[in-house]
Amino acid sequence: MPGFELINNLEKKAVNKIFSEGAVFFAHGFNKLRKRFHVREFETISKKKMRSKFSLAVTSGTSATLIALKALGVKPGDEVITQSFNFIATVEAIIECGAKPVIVNIDDTLNMCPRDLKKAITKKTKAIVPVHMLGVSARMKEILKIAKDKKIPVLEDNCESMGAKYKKKYLGCVGDVGVVSYDYGKTITTGEGGMIFTNNKKIFKYCREYHDHGHELNPKYPRGMDTKSITGFNYRMTELQAAIGKVQIKKLDYIIKENKKRYENIFNKIKDSSLEFRQIPNNTDQIFDTLIFKCSNKSKRKKIVKLLNKKGFGTKNLPDAIKWHCAYYWDHALTSKQIKKLKKTKNLLETSIAIPIWLRKSVSSYKSLGKEILKIL
């Protein structure tokens, strides 16, 4: 259930307040005109919530991934390993660095398969990017061990699972660096936006400078005379987005709590059926954003999807947006040799259905939905 469902007067008031505080929309400077620094405040609230040493607000999850990869030193000629159930953005960020995306299959968690990861590592591997898809953690215990043994940094793409945990730590703060997305469909939203989390000062420093044309924010000088040592780009979040983000992040725990009620209502109804459910790794807490199962019978699968659409639940990525989330279909970005290796993922995802958990749908409606699915089975 995305945060957009909960947008109300609080977000409206937060944005309007900026107009009475001087209407400065830029994160830096204009000190005489303004009363607040919303981007800085949003970063501080977020890093406290996620229990991370550093956080940096940026324009999107995609730019967050690109900046984090750059901070890890990814360059042309390097390889970066990520997974086959994903969103194209991760692969685009790798390509944008001039590096080669290496895609490994998923396992029954529908996230990165640690065995495939191990086989894919070469001397050129510069980073590993597990992606916590649709509310559930990847097998971080195994992935972190492989990465540690091979001394390769881990960038967690947590764009889809903000609030989920591994060993009681928030995802995105488990590897060397992590990213979240605040786009309109995500757990919490600022319209467009993203954030980078890390406990590593050097990574943070690089990210902060890179996302702001190399500005070092040297306290000895005004911004116009600031020092610099790298070139970067402009991936800065605006004050308007941050004002909304500050309201939305307070709703995160409520979103997860409400998701869980709906998820459990449908799951408990259908868990003993012939459906094969997505595995949730041990020692992890999901955010109950989506319920995914495999239904191998084509005719029953079709009937379930039809029911979901008829009742206004729809599906989440599987099957409605499979071509943007299954790397098997990315022949514009990957070689045919790479794609051939991803048949396992295609078969797994093509036979799966992802049910979105919506707040606008009542808790009891998920129980009724479960009953109707049982009738089809």
Ligand X SMILES: Cc1ncc(COP(=O)(O)O)c(C=O)c1O
Which of residues 288 and 366 has its CB atom nearest to ligand X in the complex? 288
Which of residues 52 and 317 has its CB atom nearest to ligand X in the complex? 317
313 scored as a contact of ligand X (CB under 6 A): no
Distance of closest approach, residue 105 Cβ to ligand X, in angstroms: 16
Q: Which of 47, 126, 165, 186 is catalytic?
A: 186
259 scored as a contact of ligand X (CB under 6 A): no
Is 49 a catalytic site residue? Answer: no
Find the helix packing angle between 239-249 and 38-50, rounded to 10°: 30
Distance of closest approach, residue 31 Cβ to ligand X, in angstroms: 30
Provide the residue count of the chain.
377
90 scored as a contact of ligand X (CB under 6 A): yes
| Count of positions on this chain that bind ligand X (CB under 6 A) | 14
Distance of closest approach, residue 90 Cβ to ligand X, in angstroms: 5
Q: List the one residue from 101, 135, 178, 194 that touches ligand X (CB under 6 A).
A: 194
The stretch among 10-18, 155-163, 252-260, 369-377 that binds ligand X (CB under 6 A) is 155-163
What's the CA gap between 269 and 372, in Å, rounded? 10
Distance of closest approach, residue 87 Cβ to ligand X, in angstroms: 4
Which of residues 304 and 326 has its CB atom nearest to ligand X in the complex? 326
**Chain position whose Cβ is nearest to ligand X:** 61
Which of residues 112 and 131 has its CB atom nearest to ligand X in the complex? 131
Site for ligand X in 24-83 (CB under 6 A): 60-62
Closest CA to 160 of 355, 358, 1, 321: 1
Which of residues 85 and 313 has its CB atom nearest to ligand X in the complex? 85
Binding site for ligand X (CB under 6 A): 60-62, 86-87, 89-90, 131, 157, 159-160, 181, 183, 194
